[in-house]
Structures are given as C-alpha cells and as structure tokens.
Amino acid sequence: MSVLVKGGTVVNADRSFRADVLCDDGVIRAVGENQDAPRGAEVVDAGGQYVMPGGIDPHTHMQLPFMGTVASDDFYSGTAAGLAGGTTMIIDFVIPDPQQNLMDAYREWRGWAEKAVADYSFHVAVTWWDESVHKDMGTLVRDHGVNSFKHFMAYKGAIMADDEILVNSFTRAIELGAIVTVHAENGELVYRLQQEIFDKGITGPEGHPLSRPPEVEGEAANRAIRIAEVLGAPLYIVHNSCQQSLEAITRARNEGQRVYGEVLAGHLLLDESVYRHPDFATAAAHVMSPPFRSKGHQAALWRGLQSGNLQTTATDHCCFCADQKAAGKDDFRLIPNGTGGIENRLEVLWHHGVGTGKLTMNEFVKVTSTNTAQIFNIYPRKGSISVGADADIVVWDPEASKTISAKTHHQNVDYNIFEGMTVKGCASHTISNGKIVFADGKLNVERGAGRYVDRPPFATYYDALNTQAQLSEPVPVER
Ligand code: URP
Ligand code: ZN
Ligand code: ZN
C-alpha cells in the first residue's frame, strides 16, 4: 500500500523544504520534488500545508491502575485520540507494584497495549529493589528493547522510590546503557504537607497545590540531578512544572551534565486558579501532580523550551472521569491524580508556540517529536521525514482552526483541560505506519495496528573500550 503526500512543505527539526513524500509498506521511500504516484497509491494533497514527523508523546499512562481506579483512556482509545491530533507514537510506563516482579508487570502492560492503534514503547518504573530487579533490568534492556527506567520520588506508601532505590537503580542503568527518568517531588514533604493542610480543614481540590509547592519539586529535581552527577548517569526529568526544577536543570546543563527536561502542554498553558473553581468536578478534573502553577512559572517554562534547557513536550495523559475523581469529594488526597491531552498537545503548542513567535516551526518539530526520538534512541526511524524512516507523518494545515471541547474530542474522558480554547493550526491528515488514519476530521484506525517499538541501549563506556580494543584484539567485558 502506497501513499503519496504531494505539494507540501516538509518541516524537519533541522530545515524546511518543498517536497513530496512517498510512503510504501510503512516506510518513507522517497522525499523530493515531482514524485509520481505509483499505480493504486492514495494521494494526499498537502498544498499550502506542512508535512512533519508525527508527534511522539514521551509520557502517557493508558489504562493505568492508580489510586484505587484505572485510567479511562485505554491503549485503543488513547492512541486513537493521539492520531486525531497528529501524535503517532507514545512512550507509556510499566509501573510494577512494590514487590511485583518487573518482568511480570512488563508482560501485563504488553498485553494491555496489544489493542493500540499507533506505535508504542515502554519506560519501566523501578518501585522497589532486590536482586531480581537488578537482573530483570538487564533482561529488559538486552532482550526487550527497554532503554529507560522511571523513578517516582513521590507517592509515599505506594510507588515512591527512596534514595537507596535511586542509587541502586541508577548504578544498574549505567552498566546497561539505559537512561534514568524521575518524577521529581519530595514525597516525604508532600505527605507531611497533605496531612497539615487537611488537618486545617482544607479538604477540597484547593488543598492539592498547597500540599505540593514548587520548592518540593525543586528539591527533588536537584537531588536526582546530584545523585546522577555523582554516579555519572544521564537523567531525564519528566513534567517539570516550575522555575525551581528548571533552574536545577539549567545549572546542571551549564556544568556539562547530561540532564534533559520535559514539560507538559498543560503546565505551559494552565495556571493554579483552576483548583479554586467553585464546582468540585471542574477543580478535581485538573488535579494532577505536580499541579498547575502560577503564571510566572508558565513564563519560565516557555523560556526553558525556547532556550533548549527543556527539550521535550508531553502530556502525562492519564484520564479519570468525574465519577472517578469523586473518590476525593471529602478529601483532596484521594482524588485520582491525572489529566488528559494527547489529542491536543500539537495544536495547543503550535497555536501558543509557533503562532506567537515563541517557537519556529523547526523548533516545534524538535520539541514535539525529534528530541524525544533522539533522547530515547529511536532516531531517525522516528522523529524525521527522511528516506528509510517509519511513515509516521502529520500533514498540518496552518489555516484551519477549531475550538477544543470534551463534546467533540476522541479522548475517553468527560473533561478537557483545554475546554473552550480556540486554536489555529491543526492536523488535516495523520499517517501512521504508512496508512492514512485520520482525514477530514474522521479516524480510520485498526485495533492492534500499533507496533511495539524496541529502543536499543546507548553505547556505554565499556562498549567504547571494547570498540577501541577490537582494533587490536577483542577484550571480553564483564558486566
Ligand atoms: O498526576 C499525575 N501526573 N498522574 C500520573 C502519574 C504521574 O505522576 O505521572
Ligand atoms: Zn509523575
Ligand atoms: Zn506520569
């Protein structure tokens, strides 16, 4: 099956140019002017439009079992919603319960993901430690295409990783050529503040941001950075929401440390006033961690993205409907943490980023796709319009506009955090694995068409030694 995207302007991270893009059998076969459509090919008229690598969302939680319930968007509905907004790949998270065998959890998540309609991969969380975890990390890297491990520094009493776990896991990841990632919030402080605020009689959603101030995030970001520095681990910090964590990342990068930062579309565009909404359901719909911050933090995050100190954008797509959020009606600590957005990330970033001049189109491609592909070692298979890359493409109409609403979105959740926002610039067509899966506002997806994407480990110091040695004689490396 061939698709020819004709007459558009290709926008990659490094440059833009007029070219047709020919896809066949799921792969980009030609990029150049005046391509002929093979017999039977579908032709997408991209005149006046931009042809960009499909978005990669490096942070989603489809059907996550969390806080006594399960996220409402599953791997089918969630990846379909992503395609409707131009996102063609997700990196989700396997999150074992403490004491749960890592391989068992990994297999469980792989089973759930079989219904995905777009490509996917998994970070695996390290939530506890023993010899089996050490061994399973090796198996995951060597045999299962996992090159990133996640650590939740918050959620005490559940999945929180203390410093001992961080040190053990970071050390093991370095041996394996994997990258470590953290959710940076000091879980002990959150626990203490939640109790104090609740005891003062603040029981509603307005208590949520009070219990997770920016300092709590800044402390954890800095601690993870310093642990990674001492051990020599490359580090990726997810969902940076505030100036404090951005400053920690910027300082470390200026010192030459390999630290990367992600920012969520929601943290760039929403502020903490949402938690003071008089309607519980509306306020609770925004409860996620770290919380939305004051406008000053938003401005800092945009600057972080513009300066390159934050490299990726994500959504942390983790949806809960109003009846699920109602579990915390009388106690904000019980509101399931999470918000959606996979369908809207590209369009809100285009509108508020490219549309305002904060980002160039090429920078937009970098922060929505290419940088994630490079950091997680799947470039140029993903994140690039080039010959040999996967045919994951979004055709972008810069003149189209829409008003975002839960009434019309494809996400399986009854609220949209960008409700009522009018954006200019939207996906007109999405091509996933060489097939047109979204066109004229309609999805045409196939359950299970998404593929698991292996992410190979990075070359380690030991690999480099071996490569050098092979020039003379091979040296076996003990790991
Ligand atoms: O509130 C959030 N972010 N829920 C999903 C789990 C996490 O912390 O990423
Ligand atoms: Zn998190
Ligand atoms: Zn998350």
Write out pLDDT tens, residues 332-351.
999 999 999 999 999 999 99
What pLDDT, on a 0 to 100 scale, did the predictor assign at position 353?
Answer: 98
> Does residue 11 lie within any of the structural domains?
no
Count up the domains in the chain and report the number: 1
Whether the per-residue pLDDT at 199 is higher than 90: the answer is yes
Q: Which two tokens stand for residue 102?
A: 């890592």
Min mean pLDDT across 19-23, 338-342, 437-441, 463-467 is at 463-467
pLDDT of the residue at 386: 98
The whole-number pLDDT of residue 60 equals 99
Give the pLDDT band of residue 1 (cuts 50, 70, 90).
confident
**What letter would DSSP give residue 49?**
-
Structural domain span for residue 95? 54-375
22 occurs within a structural domain? no
Q: Distance between CA atoms of 138 and 178, rounded to whole angstroms?
A: 10
Q: Which atom of ligand 1 is nearest to the CA of 238?
A: 9
Helices (H), 125-264: 131-144, 163-176, 187-199, 207-210, 214-231, 243-254
Q: What CATH number has the domain bearing residue 327?
A: 3.20.20.140
Question: Which tens digit of pLDDT belongs to each residue from 133-165?
Answer: 999 999 999 999 999 999 999 999 999 999 999
Q: What distance in angstroms lies between residue 340's CA and the mean position of ligand 3's atoms?
A: 11
Residue 294 has a pLDDT of: 97
Distance (angstroms) between ligand 2 centre and the Cα of 252 equals: 21
Q: 368 has which bridge partners?
A: none
Structure token pair of residue 35: 């391509």
Q: Is 20 inside a domain boundary?
A: no
pLDDT at 417: 98
Contact 424, 399 (CB under 8 A): yes
Q: Which ligand number lies closest to the CA of residue 266?
A: 1
Return the ligand number nearest the Cα of 287: 1
**DSSP secondary structure code for residue 380 in this structure:** T
Dihedral of alpha carbons 290, 291, 296, 302, sign: positive
Q: In this structure, is residue 458 part of a structural domain? A: no
Residue 358 has pLDDT above 80, yes or no: yes
> In the predicted model, what is the mean pLDDT of residues 242-253?
98
Q: Is the CB of 262 under 6 A from ligand 1?
A: no
Across the range 310-328, mean pLDDT stands at 98
Alpha-carbon span 394 to 83, nearest angstrom: 9
Q: Is 385 a pocket residue for ligand 1 (Cβ < 6 Å)?
A: no
Residue 72 to residue 212: CA distance in whole angstroms: 25
The answer to whether residue 419 is domain-embedded is no
What is the C-alpha to C-alpha distance for residues 117 and 314, in angstroms, rounded to an integer? 19
Q: What pLDDT is recorded for position 476?
A: 56
Write out the two tokens for 201. Answer: 């009689």
Q: Whose CA is closest to atom 5 on ligand 1?
A: 338
Q: How far is the CA of 289 from the centre of ligand 2 (A)?
A: 6
Residue 147 lies in a domain: yes
How far is it, in rounded angstroms, from Cα 1 to Cα 5? 13
pLDDT for 471? 64
Residue 1 lies in a domain: no
Instruction: Bin 218: left if φ > 0, else alpha if -120 < ψ < 50, else beta.
Output: alpha
Q: What pLDDT score was predicted for residue 459?
A: 82
- Mean pLDDT, rounded, of the chain: 97
User: What is the reported pTM?
Assistant: 0.96
Go through 165-201 and write b for each residue having 16 or more CB atoms within 10 A of its CB, e for each that does not. bbbbbbebbbebbbbbbbbbbbbbbbbebbeebeeee
Atom 3 of ligand 1, residue of closest alpha carbon? 289
For residue 433, pLDDT beyond 80: yes
Per the domain annotation, does 400 fall within a domain?
no
Give the pLDDT mean for 438-447.
98
Share of the chain above pLDDT 70, in %: 96
288 Cβ closer than 6 Å to some ligand 1 atom: yes
Kind and range of the H or E run holding 260: strand 259-264
* pLDDT, mean of residues 161-173: 98
